[in-house]
Structure 1
Amino acid sequence: MLDKGDKAPSLTVKTGTGEMIDLAQPQGKLVVFFYPKDNTPGCTKEAIGFSESLDDFAAAGTRVIGVSRDPMASHDRFTRKHDLTVPLVADEDGAVSDAFGTWGEKKNYGRTYMGMIRSTFLIGADGTILEAWKNVRVAGHVDKVLAAAREA
């Protein structure tokens, strides 16, 4: 998994709003949060939290996008159902999560499987990862990321 000080991968992603973002040259600070699945409790809470804080991130000169392997149709339903304003990226082929190292082995109730490891990255305008949060716990996470964006 990528870490603080690493360069973001040279990938361009398209959000559900049609915006194209070059992760290696994001033209300002960028938060990329990886989450396992649309419409699950933790993922919903996290996406709502980022949506509610978008103006605060903008004031800190930082854009925010969410990434999961769900298809865009699922993202659209998720966005409408919860009135989300945070742009979402459909990583159906896994290129983005593989490049960041957020797709990996997980364990739940004794079962081992491959899945998205909830992680967040704060990327600087030059493409350097300024902060990396791995195996994120949702409670209080958005506030931590916002504080780091304000300090960067």
Structure 2
Amino acid sequence: MDEGAMMPDVTVTGADGTPVRLRDLPTPTIVYFYPKDDTSGCTREAQDFTALSEDFAAAGAGLMGVSKDSPESHGKFAAKYALGVTLGSDTDGSVCDAFGVWGEKSMYGRTYFGIERATFLFDAAGTLAKTWRKVRVPGHAAAVLEAVKAL
């Protein structure tokens, strides 16, 4: 997905099992993709976004973290770390495909398919304003907040 594209009309499943249409989130909208609940990098990223959640809300921004984990897994993850971000489940991979974040990865010489850690910022009109690919977690949430404030 390239900057200037419109937000895909896709739906994830919330941790409580209800469908959440991404286009219905407050704008500007941040959608961040992460590989797996309760892993070190993904936990740190969710905690960093949680720490700034009041700032995102003050800017009027909607924030959604998405992985292929189940809604039940998201609920346990959020409860374990007292996360203040909304998590969406994409068990069938359709949302990952729409955003182009599912692909081949490698770690320790092993090749496999998984979610690329990526973040997408959509403006009030639903246009992709900024993309972060192959995200490094430290400082990322703060950088996204600055980009929201700059819109």
Smaller-chain TM-score range?
Answer: over 0.9
- Residue 19 of structure 1: how far off its partner (Å): 6.8
1:57 aligns with 2:81: no
Residue 39 of structure 1: SS of its match in structure 2?
coil
Tell me the C-alpha RMSD between the 2 structures.
Answer: 1.6
Partner of 1:89: 88
Same amino acid, percent of matched pairs: 47
Residue 89 of structure 1: SS of its match in structure 2?
strand
- Residue 18 of structure 1: how far off its partner (Å): 6.5
Partner of 2:2: 3
1:146 aligns with 2:145: yes
- Residue 14 of structure 1: how far off its partner (Å): 3.8
- Count, aligned residues: 151
- Residue 20 of structure 1: how far off its partner (Å): 5.3
**Is this contact kept in 2: 1:57–1:63, CA < 8 A?**
yes
- Residue 15 of structure 1: how far off its partner (Å): 2.5
1:67-107 deviations in Å (ceiling 9; x for gaps) = 00000111011011100010000100011111000110101
Q: Which runs of 5+ in 1 are unaligned?
A: none
Amino acid at match of 1:31: I
Counterpart CA distance in 1 for 2:21 and 2:65 is 14
Q: Counterparts of 1:1-152 in structure 2 under 5 Å?
A: 2-16=1-15, 21-24=20-23, 26-152=25-151
**Is this contact kept in 2: 1:11–1:24, CA < 8 A?**
yes
Change (3 A) 1:12 1:126: farther
TM-score when scaled to structure 1?
0.92
TM-score when scaled to structure 2?
0.93
Q: Which runs of 5+ in 2 are unaligned?
A: none
**Is this contact kept in 2: 1:25–1:127, CA < 8 A?**
no
**Is this contact kept in 2: 1:25–1:126, CA < 8 A?**
no
Moved more, 69-78 or 13-22: 13-22
**Is this contact kept in 2: 1:71–1:90, CA < 8 A?**
yes
**Is this contact kept in 1: 2:53–2:85, CA < 8 A?**
yes
1:45-82 deviations in Å (ceiling 9; x for gaps) = 00011111111011112111100000011101101110
- Residue 23 of structure 1: how far off its partner (Å): 3.0
